[in-house]
Structures are given as C-alpha cells and as structure tokens.
Amino acid sequence: MKCRACSRPAVIDIRRHNTAFCQDCFVRHCRDQVERTVHAYDMFGPDDRVLVAVSGGKDSLALWDILLDLGVRADGLYLGLGIGEYSDASGRYARDFASRRGAKLVEVDIPTTFGFDIPTGAPAARRTPCSACGLSKRHLFNQAALDGGYDVVATGHNLDDEAAVLFGNVLRWDLAYLGRQLPVLPADDGFARKVKPLVRLSERETAAYCVLKGIEYIVEECPMAEGNRHLGYKGALNDVEVRSPGSKAAFYFGFLERVAPLVETHATEQRADLHPCPECGSPTVSEVCAFCRLAEKARRNASRGGHPPETDSSTEHR
Ligand code: AMP
Ligand code: FES
Ligand code: ZN
C-alpha cells in the first residue's frame, strides 16, 4: 500500500475516500480537513479566540493540536466531572498536553466549584449520568467562554459522533434537535458560538493522528456511558460502514446539505421565551435554569444522605 500523495509506504488507509497516506501526508490530510471545515462553515477567523473543550480523549486533543499547528489562538478548557479515577486520569492527559505544547488550559471542577459530582448528582436529579453530564457540559462550556471573553467554543465531535446523534434524532424524528444539529451554532444573546471542526474526520482517524503525533490520551471510555443508546447507534452505523464505506459521511453531509435547511426553523421555536436565570444569569426558558436546578437537587441530596428526589426531565439543549 502506497501513499496516494507521495508514493512512500502508507501507514493508514481511508476506505471512504478510497485512499491511503504515509505519516506526514496523513497528518497534513487531517490538518487540511479541519482547515477546510473551518472555512466551509465560517467557524472563526484568524483574530478570534477559541476555547477548545478538551476531555483528555483523542478527539479533543487532536483538535487542539491541529488548531495550534494552524496558528489559531486556541486555549483549552477541561471540566472536572468528578467521575473518580476516570476524571483524574482525563485531567492529567489534558494538563500534560497543555504543558507540552505551552498552551493555556482553563479548568473548572464541578465538585469543588458546585459541590456535587456527576455519579451521585445525576440520580439525585432523576437523570441518567449522560444527561446530567451533557447538561453540565453545555452550560459550563458556554459560561467559561463568556467569562473568558472567547469568541467561540470548539468541541471534538467527529464524524462518527455526529452521524450517531443524527441517527438517533432521525429514529425519533426529533425536529427540534435536528434543527440544531449543525457544525456551527451562531452566537446569540447569552450564548457563545459553538463549532465542531472535526466533522470531516472519523474517530479512527483522530486516534491514528494522536498515535502518529505522539499525543497521549485517555483510551478508556467513560464508565458511566456503558450501554447507552449513543454507543448502540455508533455500532449500528459501523456495521453499515463496513459493508458500504462512505455511508456515514453520505448520511451526515447529505443531511447538512439537503435536510438541515428544511428543519432549521424548528430549532428556534423556544428562543422567544428565554430570560436570564436568577441564579447564574444563563438564558433559560424555565424559572431557574436546568443546570442550577440540577446542582441544587444534587447538593440537597448530598446533604441529607441520598433521600429519594423529585423528577426532572427537562433540559436546555444547545
Ligand atoms: P462527549 O460528549 O464525551 O462525546 O464529548 C464530546 C466533546 O465534548 C469532546 O470532544 C470534548 O470537546 C468535549 N468534552 C467532553 N468531556 C469534556 C470535559 N470533561 N472537559 C472538557 N471538554 C469535554
Ligand atoms: Fe459524561 Fe461520562 S463523560 S457521563
Ligand atoms: Zn442557572
């Protein structure tokens, strides 16, 4: 197998592009894909300050590395979720990367800042861990970007992630979520811009990128995510992809080109009712925002030693 770009021996093949690359050309390919995505969706310009949400995993570290190599003004943000040894190790990978690259890492630790952790806080608020975790991430990424004066928050969602989320949203025909499932969400009153510059790369490619660039990352999946629906959708799409390479990309990019414009209006329906949360100032449609309610229930539960909580299934999703 030879590199399609320079004919040296290839180290990786990419079946959906029917191509293969040597180490240098593959690293360049990843960088080009990110650069192309940033331009195609007008994600940010050369003067913008980008806050990269880094989990310590392969995707977000690859993203941060690529953005730094592209000369983007990119700081990292690590959120401590309080998931035992998993969070401790993830934080170490994020910190090690930052110090090796001489980059700035902003840290927000949920247990020390808000007095609860995801494993015990989620059931206290009658949420699954992934729901409480997703809600906290969306809220705190946004808050950190606004507090730090960043123009945009970038996450490491890759093609596999986006195709799997799309699959789930299509299975339920959830038009409100479909209307928001875009690689760029523009800034709005109280909301920083959100971008996903890795949507043209698969997770196999981000893992290979890290290995080839010598970036160490946490390999274990989050212990709380085991058996969740999202992983099931990923598995189903992987089966399809093996039989017909390129399906995942066709599914996702076909949606962006042909369907997203038709469902865009469904995403904005709730926005008219937004007002600032009295506790934290974040825009919300409820009296108190979903994150502040989660934090309050989690803390109350911790202080009374784990008594049965009330139900709360609502969320602010963005
Ligand atoms: P996940 O929701 O775990 O699939 O992660 C999606 C993206 O969210 C990652 O690629 C990161 O950009 C970001 N992310 C996940 N966990 C954290 C964390 N603990 N701290 C900062 N960013 C995170
Ligand atoms: Fe969110 Fe695991 S990283 S529940
Ligand atoms: Zn709030």
Residue type, 156: G
Helix, strand, coil shares of the chain, percent, nearest 5, are: 55, 15, 35
Task: Give the C-alpha separation, 88 to 109, whole Å.
Answer: 11
> Does ligand 2 lie within 6 Å of residue 128's CB atom?
no
pLDDT tens figures, 238-284:
999 999 999 999 999 999 999 999 998 888 655 668 899 999 999 99
Residue 302: predicted pLDDT: 82
Ligand 2 centroid – CA 173 distance (Å): 25
The ligand that comes nearest to the alpha carbon of residue 54 is 1
Residue 306: predicted pLDDT: 65
> Does ligand 2 lie within 6 Å of residue 129's CB atom?
yes
Whole-model pTM above 0.85?
yes
User: Which of ligand 2's atoms lies nearest the C-alpha of 223?
Assistant: 2
pLDDT tens figures, 204-232:
999 999 999 999 999 999 999 877 888 99
pLDDT surpassing 60 at residue 313: no
The residues placing their C-beta within 5 Å of ligand 3, an ion, are: 277, 279-280, 282, 289, 292
Cβ-contact 293, 277 below 8 angstroms: no
Phi, psi of 11 (to 5 degrees): -110, -15
Mean pLDDT of 184-203: 96
Q: Which residue has a Cα nearest atom 3 of ligand 2?
A: 222
What is the percentage of the chain residues whose pLDDT exceeds 70?
94
Task: Give the C-alpha separation, 50 to 71, whole Å.
Answer: 11
Domain ranges for the chain:
31-215+227-310
The ligand that comes nearest to the alpha carbon of residue 289 is 3
Q: Which residue has a Cα nearest atom 23 of ligand 1?
A: 55
pLDDT tens figures, 45-75:
999 999 999 999 999 999 999 999 999 999 9
Residue 314: predicted pLDDT: 44
The separation between CA 33 and the C-alpha centre of its own chain, rounded to angstroms, equals 18
Ligand 3 centroid – CA 135 distance (Å): 11
CATH number for the region 31-215+227-310 comes to 3.40.50.620
Task: Give the C-alpha separation, 28 to 315, whole Å.
Answer: 40
pLDDT surpassing 70 at residue 315: no
C-alpha distance from residue 260 to each of 100, 179, 187, 192, 255 (Å): 40, 6, 18, 21, 6
Mutating to test ligand 2, I would choose from 81, 117, 161 the residue with most ligand atoms within 8 A of its C-beta, which is 81
Residue 265: predicted pLDDT: 87
What is the percentage of the chain residues whose pLDDT exceeds 90?
88
C-alpha distance from residue 281 to each of 131, 194, 220, 243, 284 (Å): 21, 19, 35, 49, 9
